[in-house]
Amino acid sequence: MHDALEPTREPDWVLSHEGYNVLTESAVESRFAFGNGFLGMRAARSISRGPTWVSWLGYSRWASWPRCYVAGLFDVPNIEPPVPALVPVADWSRLRILLDGEPLLARKGEVRVRTLDMRRGLLLSDWTHRTPAGIVAKGRELRLLSLADRATGLQLLQLSLDRDGVEVRIEASFALAGLGMEPIRLEPDLGAWRLEGTGKGVAMTGVTTLRLDGERLTPDRPFSLRWLWRWRSVAGQVAELDRLVAVARADAPGDDPSPAAAAALARGASLGWRKVLAAHEGAWDARWAASDIVIEGDDDLQQALRFAVYHLTSAVNPEDERVSIGARALTGDAYLGHVFWDTEIYLLPFYTAVWPEAARALLMYRFHTLPGARAKAAQLGFRGALYAWESADTGVETTPERVVGGDGALVDILTGRMEHHISADIAHAVWQYWRATGDDDFFLRAGAEILLETARFWASRAVPEADGGRHIRHVIGPDEYHEDVDDNAFTNVMARWNIRRGLEAIDLLRARWPDHAAALREKLALGDTELEDWRDAVARIVTGFDPTTGIYEQFAGFHALEPLDLSAYADRSEPIDVVIGRERTQRSQVVKQADVVALIALLPEEFPGGTAEKNFRHYEARCAHGSSLSVGMHARVAARLGHAEMALRFRQTPATDLDLDPSSAGGVRIAGLGSLWQAVMLGFVGLDLMGDTLRIDPRLPRQWRSLSFRVCWRGRSVAVRIAGATVEATLVEGEAMEMRIGAATRNLTAGVPLQVSL
């Protein structure tokens, strides 16, 4: 067990935190969270008495928030507003240690180091504790959620004392399940619960052993899922505990998840903890081989990128197309586990490029929730599919209509009613995935229908008016500082693009799969008259582009608002809307996050000549970056425009999680981490997966000596190393292909390195 508890030696692969501080503990728990896309767990101390409530400078908050999540396990809890929320399950890693009857608790006498081993995908703890009686206890711990068998979790513990004769008691248990979970089975090694609202079920089972000097001790079993051992210490003697657990989810009311959990535990038990660990490490080896980015010349960014890729890998489950990734993944309670546009715009490019199976599963979630999107569009008086701004498991809109503000007053939440660009965002991700993978089965089963139904929505949403244009009024764009605006450029241009792709999808289906085209058109009742209306919408949608200046007006009337010099507020520590007030913010030309700039990133073809530079400069000066989604997108665009130093200044994207900002207590900002990957790969590298050939167009910072990565493209795997003005590309797997590097197009054959001078 000793070797298993040793972290990876290379410093770029590990993050460590020493000590315990009630003000930052929740942020540490988010930062060091671990998971596998089915299960997620915060890095709370396992030897603990549960959540700790603290008060500081008049504010009260939880210092520690232990949580274990199961993806897709949503219910409507007894909270306000009453919207679906991800329900935590029993924390299976809890341990209670008593020495001569006194429990080990966090005290000044404790020295604790937690280490996130990103290379191996696990959490390590190393601690020394001196009790008031002077007993010194030393412990080392490992916890993981298996990437090889996603139902499985593993915990290892070593414990030793410095004196003889101490009465030692260790209790290993499953903590209480979340509120609203009705127990349906409680057996010695298994518990099963049903959610009171949705009827979904979850089962958890485990087996735990403890050995002294290699000899197994028999535990007492006073309650379900609880093991208790007692013995007298011998100085230096090592106690070793291993706990294997398994979890299963049942979505249909009445289904019993217990057999699936028992089968998963049996798989793990037949292997033993060493092979479970080895299989998990092997699965992480495979993921890192596909997704690691190696930068020579920027150690800080290297570690930040690995932190991003670690959490992106931990967040997704390619085996389950009924779930997606929430705004904080499975690392915290913020946003109640809801899925936003973040997934398609900020996360999908990573998965499409390095893990296409995961990207497909996430898009299939949107296909399965298409009925909810159709229902929302119809409810608002439109045709086609309008996806929920906040989505849980069914696709029904879960954005609360109002919440209680900090002053106790009710605040209307308009995003669920007006932030409609999400339908075009999802369509963009569908098209990007299909172009990058050539996955025709997905296109025929799901992708084409999503494209057509979202295009249909936009054609009905863009209303012809007397001025000859078609307008999209009463919306919220990505810049959420300005609500209920007309003709938001991002929304309208993305809508037009979406309709174009819908028309292109029809033409593709007719040409390649005519029978499928006929069947789908019949299913959707999509006639020629409606398609002609789509063409009219493409021709007449108002975009806000001014040909005399080359600038898109962010929305109708934006340039008539009060200019605001953001440099005068450069030293602020609060968001700009807090500093100057909400009303002045709404009256000002200040942007919350990338809006037109995001459009430059997603649809660069809409910015010919120097218009991309003009629009970027115009809006970069007006953006207050009031969202973690913003700086990574700005960095991506700055890098593509050749502003490497500016792009590097934007790389603070993951800093709020790496630097333990207390506001990250609700979980890591997974979309911000995805945008960091985009800034490097879609920005500096210039990776383009949407053409007829794989393309890169590198524009690296001068201080980077080299950059290496792998990428998937239409069933192939390509390894690339960029060093100075030289690019070396090797087809690692798959059939021969063409690749465009800068302005040169070359042939790649398996195993033969190709060198190109830029």
Domain extent for 376 = 355-543
Flag whether pLDDT at 451 surpasses 80.
yes
Shared domain for 429 and 520, answered yes or no, is yes
Q: What is the structure's pLDDT at 56? A: 35
The answer to whether residue 681 sits within a structural domain is no
The answer to whether residue 566 sits within a structural domain is no
Range in 487-496, 621-630, 659-668 the model is least confident about: 659-668
Q: What is the mean pLDDT of residues 191-195?
A: 95
Q: What is the structure's pLDDT at 656? A: 46
Shared domain for 271 and 382, answered yes or no, is no
Q: What is the structure's pLDDT at 633? A: 96
The answer to whether residue 370 sits within a structural domain is yes
pLDDT tens-digit readout, 98-129: 999 999 876 555 778 999 999 999 999 999 99
Q: What is the structure's pLDDT at 63? A: 73
Domain count, the chain: 2
pLDDT tens-digit readout, 41-52: 999 989 854 455
- Residues noted as catalytic: 480
Flag whether pLDDT at 12 surpasses 60.
yes
Q: What is the structure's pLDDT at 109? A: 59
Q: What is the mean pLDDT of residues 435-439?
A: 98
The answer to whether residue 608 sits within a structural domain is no
The answer to whether residue 630 sits within a structural domain is no
**The domain that contains 152 carries what CATH number?**
2.70.98.40
Q: What is the mean pLDDT of residues 488-515?
A: 98
* 299 vs 110: CA distance, rounded Å: 31
Q: What is the structure's pLDDT at 108? A: 54
Shared domain for 221 and 364, answered yes or no, is no
The answer to whether residue 148 sits within a structural domain is yes
Shared domain for 284 and 359, answered yes or no, is no
CA 297 centroid distance within chain: 27
Q: What is the structure's pLDDT at 637? A: 98
Phi/psi for 250 (5° steps) reads -120, 125
CA dihedral of 430, 433, 439, 442, whole degrees rounded to 10:
-30
pLDDT tens-digit readout, 615-659: 999 999 999 999 989 999 999 999 999 999 999 987 665 444 556
Q: What is the structure's pLDDT at 254? A: 87
Structural tokens at position 334: 């913020």
pLDDT tens-digit readout, 266-324: 999 999 999 999 999 999 999 999 999 999 999 999 999 999 999 999 999 999 999 99
Shared domain for 81 and 194, answered yes or no, is yes
Q: What is the structure's pLDDT at 165? A: 96
Shared domain for 420 and 282, answered yes or no, is no
Q: What is the structure's pLDDT at 738? A: 97
- Work out the angle between the directed axes of helices 611-620 and 630-640 (0-180°, nearest 10): 150
Q: What is the structure's pLDDT at 48? A: 57
Domain boundary among 266, 288, 310: 288
pLDDT tens-digit readout, 17-43: 998 888 888 999 999 999 999 999 999
Shared domain for 413 and 520, answered yes or no, is yes
Q: What is the structure's pLDDT at 53? A: 46
Q: What is the structure's pLDDT at 657? A: 54
Region at 465 (left for phi over 0; alpha for psi -120 to 50; beta for the rest): beta
Cβ atoms of residues 372 and 388 within 8 Å: yes
Flag whether pLDDT at 550 surpasses 60.
yes
List, as own/partner pairs, every contact residues 705-709 make where C-beta atoms lie below 8 angstroms and the sequence separation is at least 24, other chains included: 705/296, 705/297, 706/294, 706/295, 706/296, 706/297, 707/293, 707/294, 707/295, 707/296, 707/680, 708/293, 708/294, 709/292, 709/293, 709/294, 709/681, 709/685
Q: How many CB atoms lie within 10 A of CB 382?
A: 18
Q: How many CB atoms lie within 10 A of CB 105?
A: 14
pLDDT tens-digit readout, 81-101: 789 999 999 999 999 999 999
The answer to whether residue 453 sits within a structural domain is yes
pLDDT tens-digit readout, 517-531: 999 999 999 999 999
pTM: 0.96
Q: What is the structure's pLDDT at 78? A: 75
pLDDT tens-digit readout, 299-312: 999 999 999 999 99
Flag whether pLDDT at 328 surpasses 60.
yes
**The domain that contains 404 carries what CATH number?**
1.50.10.10
- Indicate if the alpha-carbon torsion angle 443, 447, 453, 458 is positive or negative: negative
Shared domain for 61 and 209, answered yes or no, is yes
Cβ atoms of residues 697 and 58 within 8 Å: no
* pLDDT bracket for residue 176 (50, 70, 90): confident
* 537 vs 557: CA distance, rounded Å: 22
Shared domain for 284 and 370, answered yes or no, is no
Domain boundary among 518, 543, 568: 543
**Which residue has tokens 């890192």?**
288
Q: Containing H/E element for 190?
A: strand 190-195
Shared domain for 33 and 120, answered yes or no, is yes
Domain boundary among 543, 576, 602: 543
The answer to whether residue 79 sits within a structural domain is yes
Q: What is the structure's pLDDT at 408? A: 74
Q: What is the structure's pLDDT at 655? A: 45
What percent of the chain is predicted at pLDDT more than 90? 86
Shared domain for 389 and 520, answered yes or no, is yes
Cis amide bond preceding 81, omega within 30: yes
Q: What is the mean pLDDT of the chain?
A: 93
Shared domain for 406 and 483, answered yes or no, is yes
Q: What is the structure's pLDDT at 49? A: 46
Cβ burial 688-716 (10 Å sphere, 16+ → b, else e): bbeeeebbbebbbbeebeebebbbbbbeb
Flag whether pLDDT at 390 surpasses 50.
yes
* 528 vs 231: CA distance, rounded Å: 81
Q: What is the structure's pLDDT at 54? A: 43
Flag whether pLDDT at 574 surpasses 60.
yes
Flag whether pLDDT at 660 surpasses 70.
no
